[in-house]
């Protein structure tokens, strides 16, 4: 059953693993993450060889693991009939549910984005020119690349952090457009009254990895949109979001449990301990796609 659960868990795509950094916690208490920023930079060494002291400022982010799980029962009829398919379908369902719960929590948090994507954080683009395409992608990339080291307004804190986006995250409605833009060698741009211009090359070709999920536009999630899209940095360089697992265990646990005396059958429970929270807003840009 553990092998079946693990197989189902690993075969279910989890977009959050690509877009979030992965951490570990030893209990269910809230933890603090401090991201140290060396905003001082190198300075010219004086003839006497003295090195100037740099300054490390810190930014604090929190996270916390909780437990998510379910219980399923195998009926007495399935047991008597020795129905192996019914027996093995339980760990398959639990494996898929465990994987889906991670993306569910991540996209719930991403789409609420209260205060995370904002003009104050310089990571939100709105307006009539944000519909997905080559031009709006160029603007989003430029916005991303111009993020400051920060967080204060001191002169040295206003240096560029120089982080490149690596992931283009889109709803399924524009998945094909994103894949065409990433895979096309050339761009063809039409304008009324002027000849068609064909650039030598498509500057966006293969520059970003496309990640498309139905969560982004599903009405189940608050803030869902079929037109909004995102750029994310590599979370190993600078994480916009973080997933933490209790004691580093990323897979669900499955256990047999005794059913109540008034119930005929066999019970199984499965659970996984993890948490998701936002981290550094400079690691992602949201484009509303209006």
Between residues 125 and 79, which one has the greater pLDDT? 125
Per-residue CA distances from 128 to 133, 138, 180, 289 (Å): 12, 15, 22, 8
What is the model's pTM?
A: 0.87
User: Which residues are 255's β-sheet partners?
Assistant: 269
Q: Name the least confident of 51-55, 181-185, 192-196, 221-225.
A: 192-196
For residue range 226-257, what is the model confidence (pLDDT) as tens digits?
999 999 999 999 999 999 999 999 999 999 89
The pair of structure tokens assigned to 163 is 């982080």
120 in Cβ contact with 138 (< 8 Å): no
CB burial of residue 260 (10 Å; 0-12, 13-18, 19+)? exposed
Topology of the domain covering 2-29+61-287:
phage-related protein like fold (3.90.1690)
Among 12-26, 69-83, 153-167, top mean pLDDT goes to 12-26
> Cα(66)–Cα(255) distance, rounded to whole angstroms?
18
For residue range 93-115, what is the model confidence (pLDDT) as tens digits?
999 999 999 999 999 999 998 78
> Cα(27)–Cα(29) distance, rounded to whole angstroms?
6
User: How sure is the predictor about 195, in pLDDT bands with cuts at 50, 70 and 90?
Assistant: very low
> Cα(244)–Cα(16) distance, rounded to whole angstroms?
12
For residue range 65-92, what is the model confidence (pLDDT) as tens digits?
999 999 988 888 878 887 777 788 889 9
Residues 6+ apart with CB under 8 A from 193: none
DSSP strand pairing (284-287 vs 124-125): parallel
Which sequence spans correspond to the domains of the chain? Answer: 2-29+61-287
Taken as a whole, the chain contains a residue count of: 290
Per-residue CA distances from 240 to 45, 118, 184, 269 (Å): 35, 14, 29, 33
The per-residue pLDDT of the chain, averaged, comes to: 88
Cα of 136 vs its chain's centroid, Å: 21
Containing H/E element for 191? strand 189-191
The pair of structure tokens assigned to 86 is 């019914």
Percentage helix, strand, coil for the chain under 3-state DSSP, each rounded to 5: 30, 30, 40
- Residue 199: phi, psi to the nearest 5? -60, 160
Residues 6+ apart with CB under 8 A from 261: none
């Amino acid at each position: 059953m553990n092998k079946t659960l693990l197989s189902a868990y690993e075969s279910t795509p989890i977009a959050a693993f690509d877009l979030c950094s992965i951490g570990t916690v030893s209990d269910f208490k809230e933890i603090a993450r401090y991201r140290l920023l060396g905003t001082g930079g190198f300075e010219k060494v004086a003839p006497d060889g003295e090195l100037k002291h740099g300054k490390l400022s810190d930014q604090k982010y929190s996270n916390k693991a909780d437990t998510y799980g379910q219980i399923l029962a195998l009926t007495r009829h399935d047991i008597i009939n020795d129905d192996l398919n019914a027996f093995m379908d339980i760990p398959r369902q639990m494996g898929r549910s465990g994987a889906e719960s991670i993306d569910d929590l991540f996209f719930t948090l991403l789409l609420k984005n209260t205060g995370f994507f904002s003009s104050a954080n310089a990571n939100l683009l709105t307006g009539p020119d944000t519909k997905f395409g080559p031009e709006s992608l160029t603007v989003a990339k430029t916005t991303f690349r111009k993020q400051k080291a920060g967080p204060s307004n001191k002169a040295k804190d206003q240096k560029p952090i120089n982080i490149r986006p690596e992931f283009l995250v889109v709803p399924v409605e524009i998945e094909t457009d994103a894949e065409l833009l990433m895979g096309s060698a050339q761009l063809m741009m039409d304008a009324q009254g002027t000849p068609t211009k064909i650039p030598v090359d498509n500057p966006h070709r293969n520059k970003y990895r496309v990640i498309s999920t139905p969560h982004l536009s599903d009405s189940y999630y608050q803030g869902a949109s079929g037109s909004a899209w995102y750029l994310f940095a590599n979370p190993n360089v600078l994480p916009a979001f973080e997933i933490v697992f209790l004691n580093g265990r990323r897979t669900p646990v499955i256990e047999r449990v005794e059913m109540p005396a008034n119930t005929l059958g066999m019970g199984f429970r499965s659970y996984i301990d993890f948490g998701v929270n936002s981290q550094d807003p400079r690691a992602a840009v949201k484009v509303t796609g209006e």
